[in-house]
Each structure stands twice: as C-alpha cells, then as structure tokens.
Structure 1
Amino acid sequence: MSAAQTSSTVEASLTALAVSLRGVTKAYDNGVMALGPLDLAVRKGEFISLLGPSGCGKSTALRLIAELTAPSSGIVRLARHEGPAQPGHGIGFVFQEPTLMPWTSVRENVRLPLKLGGVPKAEARARADQALASVGLADFADAYPRELSGGMKMRVSLARALVTDPDILLMDEPFAALDEITRFRLNNDLLALWRSLGKTVIFVTHSVFESVYLSQRVVVMTARPGRIQADIRIETVEPRGEEFRTSAAYSDYCRRVSAALAPSYSGQSTL
C-alpha cells in the first residue's frame, strides 16, 4: 500500500469516529485521580455502554465528552462539521435525574434548549412536539411534571435531549431509579429510537443485564482511577427484543461481562 493510500485509509477511519479519547486523565483539586489514562474510540452510529463500579469515572468520562469539564491530560476529540453550525451537530445529555422545571408544561421543558438557542417560538414548539411524539408522549405536551410517572419524566428528559437533533447522545444511568418493568419497556423504546434516528449513544449503567441487552459494545471499567478493563462486542441478530433477553447467547454474554467486571469489585475499597 502506498503512502497516499495509507494516509487515505487512516483519514477514512478517523472520519468514521464520533468520539476519540486518547491518554485521558482527570484529577480533581482534592488530589483524587478519578479517571485514566483512558483510551476509547466510538464510531458514528454506535451504541456502547460504560459499565463499572461506583466512583470509577463513568460519569466523568461523559462530562469530558460533553465538554462540561476539561481533562487533566490527554486528548478528547469529537466529530466536527465544517461550515456554519447546524442542528444535529451537537451533543444531547440525559442525566440520572430528569431535572424538569416543575412550574411549566412538558412542552416548555422540552422546548428549553431551543429557546436558549434563539430558535423562533413556532418552530421550537413544532420541534418539541415532534420530540415528544418520538418518545410516546404526544398526548402529554400540556401536562406538568407532577402529573407524570417516573418513567414518563425520563421520557421527557430524553425528548429534551433529542429536540436539538444531536449527533451524539450521552446517557448517565437514566433508568437506574425505575422499576424493572418500566426499565425493560424504556430499554426497548430506546433501542427503537436508536435504530430509527441513527444517533451515536454512550450509555452509563451499573447493570450487566442492561448493558448487554442495549449495546453493540460493553466497555468494562476498572475501579478508580477508571481505565478500560475489557471491551466486549455483543454480536446478535437485530433488531433485538425479548427473544434475545431470554436466549442462551444473552446469558453467555452476561456471564462474560460479569467475569470481566469481577476484578474491579474485588479490589475496590468499601469506603
């Protein structure tokens, strides 16, 4: 292969990446080394889960990708688009708690990012309604957060993250506080959205079962400072459904991921 061909191949592989972390560390002012060194590459349109013990830096990694904080060392690169900024060229973030404004409607909660971005009211309203429809809440646009169940509030949070049409969707344990039935239903709905919208999804969870069910890759992290213990590709027939959740392949993957996770817990402090 010629030098030109090699350069072209490398360039093509880089443009296929949505997120790249190279030698990334994060130390806090109190001296705690939270993360790294961490090397992670996520391709455009990929769904990965970050799995690891509490305090291993999973949420810190999301904040670094979202540029909410800066790394202490290393490089964080996101896919960038040339020319003027356009919808769909950013990041959507779904936090552990819905963090909805209780004094205003569901529609206005979802419209907030567009309002802050100066999008005209009529357009923003239409886009908010479309985002709510995509998460199954078209009939609740005029409701208030206090009138919603926990699962519905999380759907509103997801709609708010999607309303700007981001390329990358970051999700920080969004379903952890929900009952199992609601969690299963939202897992299925999230997969359907991912397939239809083609977003790159980086999903943080403590659940082996959830990570295997949702992800194309499960990235298992060590105890603090978080590094990659294992990167396990989940290969199965798509689209996934309850058949996969009850299959022998699913059980095998769960055992494999659990085995990769075990050293992180065995060496973790109980403090």
Structure 2
Amino acid sequence: MDTAYLSKPSTKPAGGATSLVSVRRVSKQFANGTLAVRDVDLDLGTGEFISLLGPSGCGKSTLLRMIAGLASPSSGTIEWRDGAPDARPDLGFVFQDPTLMPWANALANVMLPLTLKHVPKREAQARAAEMLALVGLKGFENSYPRELSGGMKMRVSIARALVMRPKILLMDEPFAALDEITRHRLNDDLLQLWWKERFTAVFVTHSVFESVYLSQRIVVMAARPGRVMADFSVDAPYPRDDLFRTSADYASLCRLASGRLKEAIGS
C-alpha cells in the first residue's frame, strides 16, 4: 500500500480544519514529583476524529483531563478558539467506566446535564429520549443500570455526554472493558454519531486496531514522561465498516501505526 496514508508529523488538524483547541508546551507534574506529561504541542481541529494512542502510563488520560479542565497544566497553555474557559461548557466527557447513577433510570441519567443547567423538565425529557434513540436505546428509557449490559451502559454514558450537543467529545478508553464483538459494534455506532453530529472527537486508546478504524488522525505518545512522538493522518474514506476491517489497506495501516507505536515505546 502507498505510504501516503501517513503524513509527516505535524500536530496540526487534518484536511485544513480550523483549530478548536490549541495545546502549547503543556507539562504536568504531580505533587509526588512524577512528570506525567512534558512539552506537548497539539491542535485539535473542528470536526476531526483524533485518537491518542500509547501504552498505559504515557499520559494520555492526563492530557485529556487537562483539555477538559479537570486538571491544570503545571506549565504551558490550552487555548480554545472561542476563549477559555467559556468554551468548556460545549464539551462532553466519556470516562472508562459509565459512572451512571444506580438509583436513576436511563432517561434520568441522560437528563442529568440538562437538569444541572435548569432546562425545563419536559424539554429535558424530550432531548434525553431523542439522544437515547440516537444511540440505539429507544425503549430502554425506564431501565436501570443494573438491568443493562456493559455495552448498553456505555451507550447511556455516551448519550449523556452528547445531550448538550457539545463541540468536542473527549473519550477515555470507553470500550476497553468490553468484549470484542460489543466493542466493534460500539465503534461503528460511535462513527455514525460522529458523522451525523460532526463534533470534534478525541479518543484515548492503547489499541492500534481501534485507533486506525476510528480516526482521521492518530497521535502517538511515549511514556515517562508522556510526550507526542508521532502525529499522522489515516487517509481512509468514511463510512468504515466490516469490509474495511478485513481489507488489505486496513492491515497495512495497522502495521504502519504499530511501527510508530513501537518506536515510541522504545524511545
């Protein structure tokens, strides 16, 4: 396959997209002295799907949390196109665990961000029901987390993150604990949602296969301390499906991405 599928490292948005978030020389050192992230430069473009790929402990989640405003950089800046921190309400976050309220049904869980924003109850219920339908859970509005499978609970979590129609959706290894069949299905559903809503997606993973399948760009990070080692585009068309998963192009892209990851781990 033509290696033009991979561009030179740039840290810039793919396809000339307008930058939504600019990360400049960001480092994070914890109180115990651990330097988790060092001198990261990264631009996140409007409407892009970007994966942060790297081994456990390379600072992917720390970087994601700093972008979300859940942690502060020790040095460097994170700037939003529309101005920080006012832009951050237009942000959704999906954690590794669904973090649902066990005493509330699916509809109430998805309504939570709307309730906190004092959206009228009738409107909040309608918007939450619409989002549950969008993630394939129509008919499960009254189901409680204990009555849902792992994949269904993660769908509720994604619906809750998207109910405010955010400009950017940050996802911290949301499918890591799921079986392969469910993970593939949710990858497909996530791409359909992204294609329909066209939010900027930033997806943390340590799976080469998942990153290639989902992304327009892959940012490879090395550990100790976390830093960007490669930033390249995946020039494969959308929509992507099982035919792409079994194609020679996909296999070649996975080999190339795996090589970049191996270089990062060995650095």
* TM exceeding 0.5: yes
2:114 corresponds to which residue?
Answer: 114
In 2: Cα distance, 1:88 partner to 1:135 partner: 23
Distance change in 2, residues 1:157/1:62 (3 Å): same
Secondary structure, aligned partner of 1:138: coil
Residues 182-201 of structure 1 correspond to what in structure 2 (within 5 A)? 182-201=182-201
Question: Which of 53, 56, 59 is 2:55 aligned to?
Answer: 53
2:32 corresponds to which residue?
Answer: 30
Shift of 1:240: 1.1
- Asked if residue 211 in structure 1 is aligned to residue 211 in structure 2, the reply is yes
Structure showing greater relative contact order (alpha-carbon pairs closer than 8 Å, 6 or more residues apart)? 2
Secondary structure, aligned partner of 2:182: helix
Secondary structure, aligned partner of 2:139: helix
In 2: Cα distance, 1:251 partner to 1:15 partner: 27
Shift of 1:243: 1.4
Is contact 2:54–2:222 with CA below 8 Å preserved after alignment? yes
**Cα deviation 1:151-192 (Å, max 9, x = unaligned):** 000000000000111000000000000000000000000001
Calculate the aligned-residue CA RMSD, in Å: 2.1
Shift of 1:193: 0.5
Is contact 1:81–1:89 with CA below 8 Å preserved after alignment? no
2:19 corresponds to which residue?
Answer: 17
Shift of 1:15: 8.9
Shift of 1:224: 2.1
Secondary structure, aligned partner of 2:71: coil
In 1: Cα distance, 2:118 partner to 2:198 partner: 26
Distance change in 2, residues 1:255/1:60 (3 Å): same
* Counterpart AA for 1:53: P
Shift of 1:236: 1.3
Distance change in 2, residues 1:179/1:34 (3 Å): same
Shift of 1:69: 1.1
Is contact 1:87–1:166 with CA below 8 Å preserved after alignment? no
Distance change in 2, residues 1:166/1:207 (3 Å): same
Give the number of equivalent residue pairs. Answer: 253
* Counterpart AA for 1:126: A
- Asked if residue 222 in structure 1 is aligned to residue 225 in structure 2, the reply is no
In 1: Cα distance, 2:23 partner to 2:183 partner: 30
Secondary structure, aligned partner of 2:31: coil
Residues 242-257 of structure 1 correspond to what in structure 2 (within 5 A)? 242-257=242-257
In 2: Cα distance, 1:39 partner to 1:119 partner: 37
Q: Under a length normalisation based on structure 2, what TM-score does the superposition of the two structures give?
A: 0.90
Shift of 1:263: 3.1
Q: Under a length normalisation based on structure 1, what TM-score does the superposition of the two structures give?
A: 0.89
Shift of 1:81: 6.9
Is contact 1:48–1:215 with CA below 8 Å preserved after alignment? yes
Shift of 1:249: 1.1
Secondary structure, aligned partner of 1:203: strand
Shift of 1:265: 3.1
Is contact 1:19–1:43 with CA below 8 Å preserved after alignment? yes
Secondary structure, aligned partner of 1:140: coil
Once the two structures are overlaid, the 10-residue window that deviates more, 96-105 or 257-266, is 257-266
* Counterpart AA for 1:38: V
Structure 2 alignment gaps of length 5 or more = 1-14
In 2: Cα distance, 1:232 partner to 1:46 partner: 13
Secondary structure, aligned partner of 1:230: strand
2:144 corresponds to which residue?
Answer: 144
Q: Which of 1 and 2 has greater Rg? A: 1
Shift of 1:58: 0.3
